[in-house]
Amino acid sequence: MAFKDFLLQLTSYPERTPAHVIESAMAVADVFDARITAAVCKVDLPDATNYLARTLTDLAAAIAAEREKSKSLSSALVDEFMAAAWKAGQPADTVVLSSTARVGSGGLIEHARVHDLTIMPVSDDVSLQFVAQDLIFGSGRPVLLLPCAQRDGFKLGTIVVAWDGSRAAARAAADAMPFLQRAKSVCLLTITGDKPLDGDDSIHKLCRNLEAHDIKAQIGTEPAVGYEGAGPAIVRFCARVNADLLVMGAYGHTRFRDFIVGGATKTLLATTKLPVLLSH
């Protein structure tokens, strides 16, 4: 599969997506010569709901001012994105999505389903992490998480593929193929001491599969210490090898329309310091 049509989620309010994240997304699109569409999430604050709040605290005026601020920031973010695309020479477009929540995924998932890849900026903001979860489990497409704290741009030096032989890991490895083919080095990582692997020899078979695509991969292992689980072990290994991108399957299941996220996935959403490509 070739990546030719990207979606980039941008947040304008109350904290806007940093400019360097837009630049990193442009760099990803440039690698694949892909079109990129920015989905700018604009917050429409609701009106004051009762007479007392409106008259005693002037809440209506305060909400109106914040609503205007959100609108202004959204327009500025659209202009900044298009200027960055013009500078990078990338074909680009924008769509503005409204939400009454601080950051919402309403409408975003539907757009993600008709794009090859969604790029999602993430930080320690829990609301952003929930939107990322919605995209990963609801879009049916791979999601690339870009840490807002990372400022040194997007690179394809070393890619680590977390592997446990599962369906989700296989889906992620397949979705990441365009990235793997452009990487300087690829490492297939298994975590020991966490859970039984699905097929003891499957990682060697995956190596053979990648070789058919002219990808030479190394094999690495990392032990899970005590009861920490796979997530911290994956993060530790990636730091040690100076990984530029982590590829892994996202684990979770539905319960009353909520996603109970697997331990490794939850760790990566909350603590990632490097780009992560997730598939479900």
Each residue's pLDDT tens digit, 216-261? 999 999 998 876 778 888 888 999 999 999 999 987 544 433 433 4
- The verdict on 23 and 122 lying in the same domain is yes
Show the domain range for 74: 5-147
- The verdict on 200 and 271 lying in the same domain is yes
Work out the mean pLDDT of the chain and round it to a whole number: 83
DSSP letter at 215 equals -
- Mean pLDDT in residue range 94-112: 75
Q: Which two tokens stand for residue 202?
A: 């499957």
- Mean pLDDT in residue range 60-67: 74
- The verdict on 127 and 259 lying in the same domain is no
Q: Virtual CA dihedral for 70, 76, 80, 82, nearest 10 degrees? A: 100
DSSP letter at 56 equals H
- The verdict on 105 and 15 lying in the same domain is yes
Domain membership of residue 228 (yes or no) is yes
Domain membership of residue 153 (yes or no) is no
pLDDT for 7 equals 96
pLDDT at residue 125 greater than cutoff 90: no
The CATH number of whichever domain residue 194 belongs to comes to 3.40.50.620
pLDDT for 151 equals 79
Task: Give, to the nearest 10 degrees, the angle between helix 19-32 and helix 59-88.
Answer: 40
**Residue 216, C-beta contacts closer than 8 angstroms, at least 6 positions apart:** 186, 210
**Residue 5, C-beta contacts closer than 8 angstroms, at least 6 positions apart:** 34, 35, 37, 115, 116, 117
Q: How far apart are CA 257 and CA 143, in angstroms?
A: 20
Q: Are 191 and 164 in contact (CB under 8 A)?
A: yes
Q: What is the pLDDT of residues 180-219, one digit of tens each?
A: 999 999 999 998 876 666 556 899 999 999 999 999 999 9
The model carries a pTM of: 0.86
Number of domains in the chain: 2
Q: Are 208 and 239 in contact (CB under 8 A)?
A: no
Range among 6-10, 45-49, 144-148 with highest mean pLDDT value: 6-10
- The verdict on 168 and 264 lying in the same domain is yes
- The verdict on 12 and 136 lying in the same domain is yes
Q: What is the pLDDT of residues 2-18, one digit of tens each?
A: 899 999 999 887 788 88
Percent of the chain topping pLDDT 90: 48
Q: How far apart are CA 251 and CA 143, in angstroms?
A: 14
Specify the higher pLDDT residue, 42 or 46.
42
pLDDT at residue 154 greater than cutoff 70: yes
* Cα end-to-end span (Å), the chain: 17
- Mean pLDDT in residue range 154-167: 93
- The verdict on 9 and 138 lying in the same domain is yes
Q: How far apart are CA 16 and CA 13, in angstroms?
A: 6
pLDDT at residue 179 greater than cutoff 80: yes
Q: Domain boundary at 104, 120, 147, which?
A: 147
- The verdict on 124 and 172 lying in the same domain is no
